[in-house]
Amino acid sequence: MEKTASKKKFKIDWKEVKRQRFLLIVSAFFVAYGIVFYYLPLTGWLMAFENFKPRLGLLGSPFIGLDKFKFLFSDVAFLRVIRNTFCMGVLNLATTTVMAILFAILLNEIGNKFLKKSIQTISYLPHFLSWIVVVGILHNSLSSSGIINDLLLRFGVVDQAINFLAHPEYFWFIVAFANVWKETGWNAIIYLASITSIDPSLYEAASIDGADRLQKIKYITLPGIKPTIIILLIMNVGNILNVGFEVQYLLGNGLVQSVSQTIDIYVLKWGISQNDFSLGTAAGIFKSVVSIMLIVLCNHLAKKAGEEKLF
Amino acid sequence: MRYTKQTIIKAKGLFCVLIFTILPVFTSCKTPENEVKEFTAFFTVEGSEISPDNELMDEIAKVTGAKCRETWLTGLTKEEAINQILAKGDLPDFIQGGHELYQANALIPLDDYIEKYPNLKTYLSEKQWDSLRQSDGHIYWIPQFNIAHVPSKELTHGQEAFWIQTRVLKWAGYPDVNTVEEYFKLIEDYINAHPDEGDIGFSILCDGWRGFCLENPPQFLDGYPNDGSCIVDTDTMTVKDYNTTDTAREYYRILNSAYKKGLVDEESFTSTYSEYMTKLGTGKVLGMVDQWWQFYYPLMDYFMTTEGGINYVPLPITISKDVPNQWHTATGAILDVSDGLSITVDCKEPDAAAKFVNDLLSEEVMKLRYWGVEGVDYSVDENGLFYMTDKQDDMTKREEYVVYRRCQYSYFPRIEGLSSDGKNALMSEQQPTVFFDDLPEDVKETFKAYGCETYVDMLGSNELPGPWYPMYSYSDSMGMDTDEGYVWNSMKELKARWLPMVIMSDDFEASWEQYMTEYNALHPEIFFDAMQIELMRRVENGYD
């Protein structure tokens, strides 16, 4: 593949190929990896257009065209999970990004190197906890007799314990909070790295011009890390619909099901529990297509605004 | 080229070597008659695995010539587990899963084996076997439970009920509690009299499919048995909806006012099953509606060993005094045709597998499964009655006994009730001597106060309502690709969301109206029409 492409454009002869044979061999592995693990599984998308039955197999199942998609978009439950997924995705993206940038800047302002390092290390530890643990902690602390209610009661903020998980209106924020708690430290690392790469002479010049701390942050740090922020945002927008599955699945209950279920849970429910692999696949395709569209759109907008872009 | 003698000898030698190396490979494929066969089984419930070197498993293998390695559900739901197995395509020899597996062509018809093996043939009546036939006229699974050839006296109410801790009854002087109103009054009085004990009045299990504890009491309160998804009115032979009755409204109104008084555990609606069990395991929950098997077995040790009146007894509760209760239906009467043990298409020796099931049903093996070996696991008194000495009783309760010695094959078909000697129960837990020895003091005291001997006496027993019972075996097998299945599933989701809201609502009447509006918008009649058709089919077929 590379050979034909390279011949047309760059006129690379056999000698060049021979010289780069090691690189070619190495890259061949990655191409093979990509084909086997990313492109071949896509044949499974066929299922969405068939009435798939495991015993009949992918090629033996009857073809039904777009029926599954028709059902999908007439199902109120599916429209609801799109809304939930999208809202939670946006909320998560906004809160985690803002918090990570804020945290990175604050951390950068700490002069004491030891303090800075220890805070950073501690803050990204939650990233390594699995969701089931985090949800367990959340479940305990948010229950009527949990620590949060305990504190609220003792400080007289409320006079009756609030059962947070029983209120649909809190659910998205609880999920966003959980994400922020778990990922802020980890996400801040990349912003911190990009802050360190800002030329120190800029700060010196600003000091000489009489800029205070806040002004330095506003005029040097933030513009300095702007390309990083934009690139990460574009990448994460593509992930908006991957808002997850574990938190919502584990935290959800009958009362909040109308706001807690995401596309992934819908796919699980139909695909695995109800044995309708076709419908599950259709929902999955929808999710992938929307994600690709989002990322292209975002990239295009960034290009238009004259900012960094991904491709 | 000319073959020399030497080359021929060499070739012969080589040939011999080849034969001798290949021959054992072929012969080893054939299992000699005396070798123990090993089967695999998967059951769609949570269970504990027994050790491969379990002692009674070997004893049973001596009789049956086979053993079975059982695996159980972990983490996944039943449907997820089955679909995963189907998608991967490696089925165990035995499986339990019913309709879905049948539709996926994963099961083999058992008719011929049932004819061939006598214990299977006599396991159920001809009519009962017929009731298990699927759309293609064959039988694909064998129900495992509630089958007794000589019924014994039922001791435990292994079904759903309003349960209450004995300490509450004791404190109130063992009053008659017959209605929901009286039940919550009793709990309220007890809590008011013991304000500092931090008791939880009433807890409701709402986690996923276990949510029936929340939604199905109205059928019982109107005096109907557990058809599970509908009421069957025997006067008109029609299916009725228990979600919309006046009784349902009244029940949730009472729950609503109990909630406002702080009697209902407010974490009920967000707790998982394990959190609920943890709560019961503290002994603080005074009462709940639940199935016996759902709360008792996981906490059996705790219930047996803890004093202070934390054990639960069932109460004969209905909506008003003049409605007789049907909480308890005589087991042996209940044949759940929706599910059972099946042999899969991947089983290499289906005949041997069927023979294994047949052998497990023989009285000799039934005793090994549920009693053990005479003199070791149980003893026989001068009248020929089985019992356990204190030492045996202690031994059989230990964890290592359960893992390394007991081998019940608990999800294989079994025969309950009395053995052919007419006096001993085939299962030790149904033996009166064992039952009464194990009964905690507080429960004994309560039974005595109410003039009862067993859990069942607390409620009274009811005969099989009719050949259609239980209707839930049909609604459970509905796929979501049918209209009625889709509606049924939406109804369940709606109830899981609305009933907690109704119970917690500040304005009960308004919430109930809104709930009913949304409920009716789902067109529940689609579901009930399908149930009516099935009811008529079952009545006409008249199986028992």
Return the pLDDT at B329: 87
CA distance B207 to B275: 10
Cross-strand bridge partners of residue B380: B386
How does pLDDT run across B77-109, given as a tens digit for each residue? 788 888 888 888 889 999 998 888 888 889 999
Helix axes B508-521, B246-260, angle to 10 degrees: 140
Nearest residue on chain A to B211, alpha-carbon basis:
A254
Separation in Å, CA of A284 to nearest CA in chain B: 17
> Looking at beta carbons, which residues of chain A come within 8 Å of B496?
254-255, 257
Separation in Å, CA of A277 to nearest CA in chain B: 10
CA distance B456 to B452: 9
Separation in Å, CA of A271 to nearest CA in chain B: 9
Q: Which residue has the higher pLDDT, B209 or A263?
A: A263
Length of chain A: 311
Edge-first strand order for the sheet with B285-291 is: B200-203, B285-291, B160-165, B312-315
Nearest residue on chain A to B86, alpha-carbon basis:
A54
**What percent of chain B clears pLDDT 70, i.e. is strictly above it?**
92
Separation in Å, CA of A233 to nearest CA in chain B: 35
Please state, in angstroms and as integers, the Cα–Cα distance from residue A211 to each residue in A101, A109, A206, B22, following that order.
21, 15, 5, 89
Domain boundaries defined on chain B: 37-150+334-437, 160-327+439-541
Residue range B407-421: mean pLDDT, rounded: 90
Residue range B347-358: mean pLDDT, rounded: 94
Task: Kindly determine whether residue A253 and residue B100, on different chains, have CB atoms separated by under 8 Å.
Answer: no
CB contacts under 8 A, A 79-108 vs B, are none
Residue pair B92/B71 in contact (Cβ under 8 Å)? The answer is: yes
How does pLDDT run across B422-450, given as a tens digit for each residue? 889 998 888 888 888 889 999 999 999 99
Residue range B38-52: mean pLDDT, rounded: 88
CA distance A292 to A263: 16
B173-182 own/partner pairs: CB under 8 Å, 24+ apart:
B174/B446, B174/B449, B174/B450, B177/B315, B177/B317, B178/B315, B178/B316, B178/B317, B178/B318, B178/B321, B179/B317, B179/B318, B179/B319, B179/B320, B179/B321, B180/B221, B180/B250, B180/B251, B180/B254, B180/B317, B180/B318, B180/B319, B181/B254, B182/B317
pLDDT tens for chain A, residues 1 to 311: 444 544 455 677 888 888 889 999 999 999 999 999 999 999 989 989 998 877 777 888 889 989 989 989 998 889 999 999 999 999 999 999 999 999 999 999 888 999 999 999 999 999 999 999 999 999 889 888 889 999 999 998 888 888 898 889 999 999 999 999 999 999 999 999 999 999 999 999 999 999 899 999 999 999 999 989 988 888 888 888 888 788 998 888 888 988 999 999 998 888 877 778 888 899 999 999 999 999 898 888 888 877 777 77
CA distance A46 to A290: 18
CA distance A264 to A239: 13
Return the pLDDT at A303: 85
The answer, for A144 touching chain B at a CB cutoff of 8 Å, is yes
**Concatenated DSSP letters of B36-71:** PEEEEEEESS---PPPTT-HHHHHHHHHHSEEEEEE
How does pLDDT run across B258-277, given as a tens digit for each residue? 999 999 998 899 888 888 99
Return the pLDDT at B339: 85
Task: Kindly determine whether residue A55 and residue B105, on different chains, have CB atoms separated by under 8 Å.
Answer: yes
Task: Kindly determine whether residue B504 and residue A54, on different chains, have CB atoms separated by under 8 Å.
Answer: no
Return the pLDDT at B89: 80
Residue pair A277/A271 in contact (Cβ under 8 Å)? The answer is: yes
Q: Give me the architecture of the B160-327+439-541 domain, per CATH.
A: 3-Layer(aba) Sandwich (3.40)
Task: Kindly determine whether residue B86 and residue A277, on different chains, have CB atoms separated by under 8 Å.
Answer: no
ipTM of the complex: 0.75
CATH superfamily of B37-150+334-437: Periplasmic binding protein-like II (3.40.190.10)
Mean pLDDT of chain B: 88
Residue in A54, A145, A257 nearest the CB of B86: A54
Return the pLDDT at B272: 87
Interface A:B, Cβ pairs < 8 A: 76
The residue written with tokens 């349902």 in the block is B248
Task: Kindly determine whether residue B269 and residue A274, on different chains, have CB atoms separated by under 8 Å.
Answer: no
> Looking at beta carbons, which residues of chain B come within 8 Å of A53?
104
The DSSP secondary-structure symbol of B430 reads G
Task: Kindly determine whether residue B481 and residue A276, on different chains, have CB atoms separated by under 8 Å.
Answer: yes
Q: How confident is the model at residue B26 (pLDDT cuts 50, 70, 90)?
A: very low
**Residue A3 structure tokens:** 């050979």
Domains parsed from chain A with CATH numbers: 14-60 (no CATH), 69-304 (1.10.3720.10)
Residue pair B139/B377 in contact (Cβ under 8 Å)? The answer is: no
**Residue B101 structure tokens:** 């597996």
CA distance A108 to A200: 13
Return the pLDDT at B544: 43
pLDDT at residue B362 tops 90: yes
Residue range B486-507: mean pLDDT, rounded: 93
The answer, for A4 touching chain B at a CB cutoff of 8 Å, is no
Residue in A54, A274, A277 nearest the CB of B79: A274
- Sign of the Cα torsion B335, B341, B342, B343 reads negative
**Concatenated DSSP letters of A191-215:** HHHHHHTS-HHHHHHHHHTT--HHH
pLDDT at residue B523 tops 90: yes
User: Is B160-327+439-541 the same fold as B37-150+334-437?
Assistant: yes
> Looking at beta carbons, which residues of chain A come within 8 Å of B77?
273
Task: Kindly determine whether residue B493 and residue A272, on different chains, have CB atoms separated by under 8 Å.
Answer: no
Return the pLDDT at B28: 43
Q: How confident is the model at residue B397 (pLDDT cuts 50, 70, 90)?
A: confident
Nearest residue on chain A to B489, alpha-carbon basis:
A274
How does pLDDT run across B154-197, given as a tens digit for each residue? 888 989 999 999 999 999 999 999 999 999 999 999 999 999 98
Return the pLDDT at B31: 46
**Residue A263 structure tokens:** 């596309």
> Looking at beta carbons, which residues of chain B come within 8 Å of A268?
80
CA distance B244 to B224: 15
Q: pTM higher than 0.80 for the full model?
A: no
Separation in Å, CA of A129 to nearest CA in chain B: 19
